[in-house]
Amino acid sequence: MAMAQPFPAQSKPVPVQSRPMPAGVDIKPRRMKFAYDGSPDLWAGDNPVFTRFMEGLSMLFPEGERFFVESVRHYKEQIVDPVLQKQVVAFAAQEGMHSAEHHKYNQRAAGPLTEQFEAVAGHLRTPFARRVISPMNRLAVTVALEHFTAIMADELLRNPAYADLMDPEHTKLWLWHAVEETEHKAVAFDVYRAVGGGYPRRAGIMLITSFLFVVAAVRLLGDLLARDGKKLPRGSVPRFLDLAFGRPGFFRKVFPAWLDYFRPGFHPWDHDNADLIAKWKARYADA
């Protein structure tokens, strides 16, 4: 039996013009090579909490990003704007590569337990989830999580304090992913609007999704630390909490951008951070 829809039925699709991307921004799938041999186990600030937190996030990507692509592709036939059609293809190519690279990365981190950790986000793709979450709600979840990845990417690219604590090869992976998330940050949003997705659903689903995202990230952090089976070194939790909420305060910094999503006229490119993409390209000599 289909679950009752908690949000108003979708409004009739009306042609909505996607907002042009800032000059110089292109959604470009890049094939990258990473070599983690020689990287230390605690590659983020020599801190088990910081390291396992990032690895926990990485565990969410392979299945999560497959879910994003499926949610957007479901509406492929209804997208009439040829620019947006091309962006959807490039978005799917980028996310496909992110899924693959993070899966390899996760295998390095968790070995045979990788699938078990990745199954946390895999809940979104089970037959049960497909039955009870409507395609429009799945798309709204994708739009919400794409905003999450975009605002976290912005802070990671903007503030060198986090990357400075990481092993360079790991930094390369996270910054590459952050740049591509920035390039395609409006694709799911524009598709949602183009197929008639409205504000109440977008805002309501963001609240639910945010709660579940925090639960998933904390659970994975706990599971990864439990797998280590080691007593946490003194000071590692306060140091992580300081990074997250104090100084520089990653989540404190991204909170206003999270809140901005609840503005009825919000669009991801209202926050033009194309300069961060240009800086990354200069650093990594990307064409």
Q: Which residues sit at the interface with Fe ion, rule CB under 5 A? A: 65, 95, 98, 181
- Residue closer to Fe ion (CB basis): 96 or 196: 96
Q: Under a CB-based contact definition with an 8 Å cutoff, are residues 55 and 219 in contact?
A: no
Nearest distance, CB of residue 91 and Fe ion, angstroms: 7
Tokens representing 136 are 């429009």
Nearest distance, CB of residue 177 and Fe ion, angstroms: 6
Residue recorded with tokens 């497959």:
66
Nearest distance, CB of residue 146 and Fe ion, angstroms: 5
Nearest distance, CB of residue 133 and Fe ion, angstroms: 19
- Residue closer to Fe ion (CB basis): 47 or 71: 71
Residue recorded with tokens 């565990």:
59
Q: Give me the residue whose beta carbon is nearest to Fe ion.
A: 98
- Residue closer to Fe ion (CB basis): 45 or 155: 155
Nearest distance, CB of residue 150 and Fe ion, angstroms: 8
Nearest distance, CB of residue 109 and Fe ion, angstroms: 17
Q: Under a CB-based contact definition with an 8 Å cutoff, are residues 257 and 154 in contact?
A: yes
Residue 166: beta bridge partners?
44
Residue 44 DSSP SS3? strand
State the alpha helices, DSSP H only, in the chain: 48-73, 82-110, 114-122, 127-132, 135-158, 160-163, 168-183, 187-194, 199-228, 236-245, 250-260, 274-284
What is the C-alpha to C-alpha distance for residues 132 and 148, in angstroms, rounded to an integer? 23
- Residue closer to Fe ion (CB basis): 55 or 181: 181
- Residue closer to Fe ion (CB basis): 245 or 266: 266
- Residue closer to Fe ion (CB basis): 29 or 249: 29
Close Cβ partners of 123 (under 8 Å, ≥ 6 residues apart): 129
DSSP states of 245-262: HSSS-HHHHHHHHHHHTT
CA-only gyration radius of the chain, Å:
19
Angle (nearest 5°) at CA 210 between 3 and 93: 85
